[in-house]
Structure 1
Amino acid sequence: MLILGLLIFLGIHCVGFFPEWRQRRVDGMGLLPWKGLYSLIALAGFVLIILGFQRARLDPVVLYAPPAWLGHLNSLFTLIAFILLAAAYVPGNRIRARLGHPMVVAAKVWAFGHLLSIGLLHDVVLFGAFLVWAIVAFAKLRRRDRAQGVTYAPGTLKGDVITLVVGVVAWALFAFWLHGALIGVRPFG
């Protein structure tokens, strides 16, 4: 179930790699129906990931036992990922101007940090799949940007500060409260 969910969720998120195919679907059905179908498929994949991950946690398979300090390093990686995620939405920041696709980089950093710190099979499948997808997605998106001459507006110090504050606050809320409530694991006890 976890693998099927990953194939569906990450698969639909690969549609952007094929802009001509995507545009033919949009032209054939209209933009709003396309967005609705895309969202339903992504949601179905996400639900399968959650259910599959929950089931896999009931019978864990240990692949490796990382040292405890990698958990602390993962906290740093996750903080960086939240700042990168904020950079995808906060206008006028230099992170977005530099990276172009900070959300995809956030997924890479998040997945890599979790792979370092958790050695269970279901975690490796989940985070490994996201890491591979994010590496491929970033390369494809940057190549597309260069081919199309896409440039991003230069950021400002104000945009950087807002991005940093939003990212740190969101990380703190998630790390100290939401992660335990939603995932069932409290990174800080």
Structure 2
Amino acid sequence: MLLLIFGLALWVLAHLFKRLAPEARENLGNAGKGVVAVVVLAGLAAMIFGYRAAPYVAVWTPPSFTYHINNLLMLGAVFLYGMSATTGRLRGAMRHPQLTAVIVWAVAHLLVNGDLASLILFGGLLLWAVAEIVMINRSSTWDRPAPGPAKKDVVLVVITIVMYGVITGIHAWLGVWPFPS
């Protein structure tokens, strides 16, 4: 569990560094982007390996119907994440599509994982995403971008479906079948 917690701490601190210590981040200049990226990747690796190595400690047993809710939420999370890159009509529909996607992803995973390591990982990332949104909203204003052509949103839907299939395939490859009967 320590590796998982360490990875989560690295992830959170690296992402919040710019907001918690803006002068220190600014003093690093362009090199700071590389440092932050390395810390984020180290945190991600530690979270993955720490989660996979964590002992199973049951906290609660999710009901079977939550798997269907999880799958719908995950489709929405993939779509929301993609909204941050769209240049279609949906561009600017929400201020924080990536962080909102992380929140939806975390809630979806908390619905179907009742063990301690999952509560730490998904709950921790959920709390981080909410805190990040609050900090960003307090520190800056937002100029909503103008919407683009609707055909770009159709591309987003197609990419969402393809990515959802890829993510499902990765889960199956790792031994986690997301569609239990």
Match of 1:171 in 2: 164
Going from structure 1 to structure 2, the CA distance change for 1:22 and 1:180 (only over 3 Å counts) comes to farther
8 A contact 1:5–1:47 mirrored in 2: yes
Which among 26, 41, 44 is matched to residue 43 of structure 1?
41
Say whether residues 1:185 and 2:181 are aligned partners.
Answer: no
Asked whether 1:160 is paired with 2:158, we answer no
1:153 and 1:16 map into 2 onto residues whose CA distance is 27
What residue is the counterpart of 2:59 in the other structure? 63
Q: Give the CA deviation at 1:152.
A: 2.1
* Unaligned residue ranges in structure 1 (runs of 5+): none
| 3-state SS of 1:14 partner | helix
**Are 1:97 and 1:155, in contact at CA under 8 Å, matched by a contact in 2?**
no
Cα distance, 1:50 vs structure 2: 1.4
In structure 2, how many angstroms separate the alpha carbons of the residues matched to 1:155 and 1:131? 30
Map of 2:52 onto structure 1: 54
User: Is 1:104 aligned to residue 102 of structure 2?
Assistant: no
Which range moves more in the overlay, 162-171 or 120-129? Answer: 162-171
Mapped to 1, the partners of 2:116 and 2:81 lie a distance apart of 26
Compute the TM-score of the two structures, normalised by the length of structure 1. 0.85
Distance 1:187 1:90 in 2: 27
Structure with a larger share of its residues in helix: 1
User: 2:9, 2:36 → 1: CA distance?
Assistant: 14
Matches within 5 A, 1:7-86: 7-18=9-20, 20-21=22-23, 23-26=25-28, 30-31=29-30, 33-56=31-54, 59-86=55-82
Gaps of 5+ in 2: none
The amino acid across from 1:126 in the alignment is L
Identity %: 31
**Offset at residue 19 of structure 1 (A):** 7.2
SS of the residue aligned with 1:97?
A: coil
Letter in 1 for 2:12: L
Kept in 1, the 8 Å contact 2:80–2:98? The answer is yes
Deviation of 1:21 (Å): 2.5
Shift of residue 138, structure 1, vs aligned partner: 1.7
CA shift at 1:18, angstroms? 4.1
Q: Distance in 2 between matches of 1:22 and 1:152?
A: 30
Q: How many residues align?
A: 178
Return the offset for 1:158. Answer: 1.8
Give the Cα–Cα distance (whole angstroms) in 1 for the partners of residues 27 and 172 of structure 2. Answer: 40
Q: Given that residues 145 and 151 in structure 1 are in contact (C-alpha distance below 8 angstroms), is that contact kept between their aligned partners in structure 2?
A: no
TM-score normalized by the length of structure 2: 0.89
